[in-house]
Amino acid sequence: MIKDISGKLIDNISLAVRGKKAEIRLVCAALLAGGHVLLEDVPGTGKTMLARSLARSIDCDFRRIQFTPDLLPSDITGINFYNMKEQEFVLKKGPVFANVLLADEINRATPRTQSALLECMEERQTTIDGESLRLPSPFFVIATQNPVETAGTYPLPEAQLDRFMIKLQLGYPERAEEINVISGAKSANAADELNAVCSAEDIARAQKEIDECTASEAVCGYIADIAEATRKHAAVKLGLSTRGAVALKRMAAALALISGRSYVMPQDVAEAAPWVIRHRLVCRGYSLQGGADRTADEVLRQVLDSVSVPTESVEE
C-alpha cells in the first residue's frame, strides 16, 4: 500500500515542484513514517510550494500558519472565549487541529510560541486551559525556515529540532528547469491546480504498515551502534537521542516499503541517516549554523565509515 500511495504522491507533487523527486520522496517517506519535516533553505527555492503541493495531493484538512514575532501560543492551539449569547465559554480551535500543518518561517516566532508545537508534534495532542485535546489523525507538520537571515529570528531549540524526523534542503533547480520557471512555463499557482490522489484515511492506514515492517536484530543493532558512535565522537557535544534512533528506524522502514520491500536493510538506514541525524547533532566549538552543519556532515561521514555494517538482513 505504501509503495502505491508514495508513487502517486511523488508523481503528483512533481507536477508542481519540478526536478526534486529525491527530496519529494524523502518528504513522503517522513509523512508515511508518522514524522515531521523541517525544510531549511534560502528564500525562493520552493519550500512553501512543496508543502502546499503535498497538502493539495491529500484529501485532508490543511492549515497554514505564517509565523511572526507577535504570534501567540493561543493563535496556534486555540482559545476558550466567553459567548455572551450562550452565557458560556466556547472552544475556538486553532489551526493546529488539521491533518497537515504548514508552519511557514517557524523561526520567526518567539520560543514561547514555538513551544506550543512541542506537545502537538510529540504526543498528537494539545492542552488548552488545562484540558488535553487530541489532534486529528494523521497529524503532519511541515515547517520552513531561512538559514541566512538572522534579524528577527529565534533559532529552534534542540528539543524542538529533535521532534522533526528529517531536515532537508531543496537547493536551486537545474538550469533547464530554472529556464522553464523564468519563462513562465510553470505557473506560480501550480500547487493550486493539483488534485488529491489519496485521502487522510489512506495515509493513516499506510502509517500503520510501518509498525509491520521487519527490522532484524542486526539492523536494530546497527542503528544503536550509529547512535552510540555519535555520542562518543570527540567533536560532538550532543549526539543522537533515543527518539532520534527510533526515527531513523521508522524512516528506514518507510524507504524500504516505498522500494517495495517489507523488511529493512542496512542500506535503508544509511540512506535515511543524513536526513535524520544531521540536525540532531550539536557539535563543539561552532556557533554559526552553517559551520555546525558542515561539521555535522563530517562527523556523520566518519561515524558511518567507522560502524560495521551487518552483512545479512533476515526477511521474516
Tens of pLDDT along 261-272? Answer: 999 999 999 999
Q: Which residues contact 35 (CB under 8 A, 6 or more apart)?
A: 164, 165, 166, 247, 250, 251
Query: Looking at residue 174, what is its pLDDT?
Result: 81
CA proximity to 296, closest of 308, 284, 306 = 284
Interatomic CA distance for residues 109 and 156, integer angstroms: 10
Average predicted confidence (pLDDT) for the chain: 89
What's the predicted TM-score (pTM) here? 0.89
Mean pLDDT of 14-26: 90
Mean pLDDT of 47-66: 92
Lowest mean pLDDT among 147-151, 189-193, 241-245: 147-151
Alpha helices in 234-288 (DSSP H): 242-258, 266-277
Confidence of residue 186 (pLDDT cuts 50, 70, 90): low
Lowest mean pLDDT among 56-60, 201-205, 283-287: 283-287
Q: Given a cut of 70, is residue 185 above it in pLDDT?
A: no
Alpha carbons within 13 angstroms on the beta-carbon side of residue 34 total 20
In this structure, what C-alpha cell is assigned to residue 72?
Answer: 501567540
Interatomic CA distance for residues 191 and 105, integer angstroms: 19
CA proximity to 207, closest of 38, 5, 59 = 5
Lowest mean pLDDT among 55-64, 128-137, 187-196, 282-291: 282-291
Query: Looking at residue 293, what is its pLDDT?
Result: 60
CA proximity to 94, closest of 71, 79, 80, 78 = 78
Task: Report which DSSP code applies to 147.
Answer: S
CA proximity to 40, closest of 187, 193, 188, 161 = 161
Interatomic CA distance for residues 108 and 56, integer angstroms: 25
